[in-house]
Amino acid sequence: MKKSRSGLVMLGIVALLYLVLGLLHPEKTAAALGESLGVLKMILPILLLVFFLMALLNAYIDEKAISRHMGEESGLKGWLLALVGGILSHGPGYVWYPLLQNLREQGAKDGLIVAFIYARSIKIPWIPLMITYFGWSFTLVYTFWVVVGAWLQGIIAQKLLR
């Protein structure tokens, strides 16, 4: 992983943005801060879970196993693993980035990581809500094409990033 100077710069910019907006629209900006704290509270448990998974992965799964399941010779099983993993993963995408980068560094194929990230568009807990708003046929068609799209995108990315 790269060093986090960009993170500190970014944090500075955001803090400045809050300061300026806070002077212009104090109430709205306070609400924004409240929203942010809400998001932080929501993702903290997920974050801990992800980093715990990372720890387990680092300790018990060696690079050979990763390259076998997610590396060059992983084949169809690798794609299935990435797609199912993406669909089942919880929380916002950026929470998963460090873990995914970790897998890449240990030999996982780029295409599989791309497929995982795209497959995250399907969230099983929210499917009932989607059906309520858009109906069964839309939900089925949407889910089908997103899975196909994630797979295709992974294949293209693999070719481009080789």
Partner 1 sequence: MQSKFKTAAAGTLKSLKRVAPMLLAIIGLIGLFKTYITPEMLRTLFNGSALHDMLVGVGFGGISVGQPFLSYIIGGELLKEGASFYGVTAFILAFVTLGVVQLPMEFSIFGFRFALVRNLLSLLFAFVLALLIAFCVRIFT
Among 19, 26, 45, 58, binds partner 1 (CB under 8 A): 58
- Both tokens of 8, joined, read 């500190």
**Is the CB of residue 65 less than 8 Å from the CB of residue 59?**
no
Site for partner 1 in 103-162 (CB under 8 A): 104, 110, 113-114, 117-118, 120-121, 123, 126, 129-130, 133-135, 137-138, 141-142, 145-146, 149, 152-153, 156-157, 160-161
Shortest Å, Cβ 72 to partner 1: 17
Cβ neighbours for 88, distance < 8 A, ≥ 6 positions apart: 124
Among 23, 60, 75, 76, binds partner 1 (CB under 8 A): 60
Give Dmax over CA atoms of the chain in angstroms.
Answer: 57
Shortest Å, Cβ 79 to partner 1: 16
Q: Does 47 bind partner 1 (CB under 8 A)?
A: yes
DSSP string, 72-119: GGGHHHHHHHHHHHHHH--S-GGGTHHHHHHHHHTT--HHHHHHHHHH
Q: Does 13 bind partner 1 (CB under 8 A)?
A: yes
Q: Does 85 bind partner 1 (CB under 8 A)?
A: no
